[in-house]
Chains A and B, each alone.
Chain A
Amino acid sequence: MRARTWEPVVGPRATGPWARRASIALLVAGAVAVLVPFAWMVSTSLKPEAEVFRQPIQWVPRTTRPENYAEATTLIPFWRYFLNSLIVAIPVVIGTVMSAAAAAYAFARMRARGLRVLFALVLATLLLPGEVTLLPSFLLFRELGWVGSYLPLIVPSLLGGGAFNIFLLRQFFRTIPLAHDEAARLEGHGFASIILRVVVPQAWPAIALVATFTFVETWNDFLGPLLYISDQDRYTLPLGLNFFKDIYNTQWAHLMAASLLALLPCLLVFFAAQRAFTEGVVLTGRKG
């Protein structure tokens, strides 16, 4: 696989300069439309509450209130929730990457009786809506005494890391020449060592991609914490924001400030992993 960089693709598809200009105009207009809600969020988060619904709408606040941010983080225990979200997301990302990579390596590069059947089962679970297993899983975790803790949110990620991630990593691992494994094996490396020394370094874009998606999904997950976490001190950010909305539902400026702060880690992770990200998406596509 040739690495595709974050460069503009020089397309031969665009015909005349007119079509090219029209395309650019449409693309830029669309991008502006995508950014407008974000801009509104930033703008609102800096307004005094009384100015939020002023008509006609104000893009630039008459008085800027950066204090909204500090106040928003004390109206609800924001940083407590932030920490809780991290406490869930970090083990989930690590567990997902490790267990999905392990399974993907076996499916991509090893031969053993029954592996093909197992891989077909992995693919079959892609079509299974989570709701089917949701209630018995809840009962199972309740039986185990895990309800109220983060275990139901974390432990499943250690067990396979999700069908799509296995599939994505397997596709990527298959593009690495098998000769590299053979060479490492002749040098006396075992499978674990081959995965770490040969596969991981070459597959880092795919691994970064899985890690990014997993972080974003876990960070934004609402249903999981909603089912399992009821103690307010243990709320993750999505639960905390929803709680904020329920109790201070008129304080839009503060709510937007808190929401924006809650989004930042996802944006940071996205920008950090961006190069790997586009490479991987272009290779495989992904529906989350």
Chain B
Amino acid sequence: MLKKRIVPVQLLLGERLVKTVRFDTHRDVGDPVASSKVYSSQDADELVFLNIDREGRSADRLLRLLERVSEVCFMPLAMGGGIRALADVEALIRRGADKVVINSAAYRDRDLLAQAADKFGAQAVVVSIDVRRDLETGAPRLFSDCGRRAEAITLEEHIRAVSDSGAGELLVNSIDRDGTMEGYDVPLIAEVRAQSRVPVIACGGAGNYTHLKDAFLATDVEALACGSLFNFGDNNPLRAKAFLGNYGIPFKKI
């Protein structure tokens, strides 16, 4: 049986990892390579690295990091942040990434998704979708460019369009819940899960293991991503899985 996954998300700003709150403010949460070694020792299911530096958007920083991380982490690695060209995707995959995470480019250059999927397989192409709920209606609104640019397309249309273009997985992020540690936006996760024919990783809001339990039990989501949970609070992936195991949620045993 395929297991559920818990995926630590590591946000890269310059040479350090940071954590944001609602995509704003930055708090240092460690060294990227040391942190990856820690997650590796803690048998994390997979690691996602996102370069959130709004100035330095080239893939170089990711490549340099990947070089070092892939020497010490032998688990699936997903890299994203500023990926705009097939050459970036190629460079990352050759350097050891299993998946690339594409956000802004997915709105205007779906050809990139198709080319990447064609060359490396759909499972290597993760489309990341950042969502803020409309203040009046509560409807999900999509944003690109690190949460700065509002996109007109609806959630449902975008999910369909990117899956048709070759995305093999979706990473959905609640900007509203990001860093708040108040729990996932479970209705959003359920909505995305229902509309997506590819696996979904949901992110944004995990503050304790009960939040993960609630999201896993209420939806069919394949994976839950965590940023703050493992940085603030006496938590690690092993403890999370032990706790969730007591509620029947299956994780890998190694």
Q: Do A and B come from one complex?
A: no
